Amino acid sequence: MKNTLRKITASLAAAVLCAVPMTSSLSANAEANANARNTFRRIWFIDDSANVVKFVFSFSCRMTNTSVPSYTILKGNVTGNGGSAGTQYYSCGANVERSAGLYGPVCFASAYCNSPSDFVEGSLVGNAFKAGNVPSYNSVHSYKFLVGDINNDNVVNAKDYDYMCYAINNGFTGSYSYTQNVTGTLGGSYFSYAKYKFDINGDGYVTSADRTMLANYNNGSLTRFAK
């Protein structure tokens, strides 16, 4: 298991590689190609007012033409993790705790795949708890998206970069919640897209660094977005 720690403003994000299957369990088309350009992400949010201090999540995705996934913690500390790899699906999960409270974007799981249609999720779990292990119901919100595909057409291209530039140039920067959208008019048409989709580098904020990363992806100098 590979652990990579990186400082993100006041929080610590840990990118952890999920369970890797034995070579004998991989079929010829199991893993994504070395130059696979599609990155899918599943992000979890917790309501600000829910008083959650512990979050337990698990994630799985089909192996076919897909890389071993990883997860990144945006807020809190991992107090337990695990996962398994069968013959068809990768899986992983973790317990995340924070005495000061867990809210906003808490974590995400990501995987590379050869094409958008190759990414198929399996089981998903996201359970939140207040102090004393009291369940917090209806406080968790989760979304899946193709990183860089801001306008939801399942392709990452110059159109997405135009929306990104609009967001940066019009003050839609900083942190975000699952309810926030970037809205405006571009090319004579009104648009409204989830702000979390503009966080290309997955650090919990929308900044000019996300615009640079998307530009580099579109011009070919960046093969794919980091998991």
22-70 per-position pLDDT tens digit: 444 444 456 889 889 999 999 999 999 999 999 999 999 999 999 999 9
Q: Which amino acid is at 160?
A: D
Structure confidence at residue 84 (pLDDT): 61
Structure confidence at residue 92 (pLDDT): 86
- Look-up of token digits 């809210």: 103
Angle at 115 between CA 110 and CA 121, to 5 degrees: 45
Q: Which residues in the chain show pLDDT less than 50?
A: 1-13, 22-28
CB–CB of 81/109 below 8 Å? no
Structure confidence at residue 188 (pLDDT): 96
Terminal-residue alpha carbon distance, the chain? 15
Residue ranges of alpha helices (H) inside 128-173 are 158-169
Return the closest-CA partner of residue 96 out of 20, 39, 44, 18: 44
Structure confidence at residue 176 (pLDDT): 98
Query: Which domains are delineated in the chain?
Result: 3-146 (2.60.40), 158-218 (no CATH)
Structure confidence at residue 6 (pLDDT): 32
Residue 149 has a CB neighbour count (10 Å cut-off) of 20
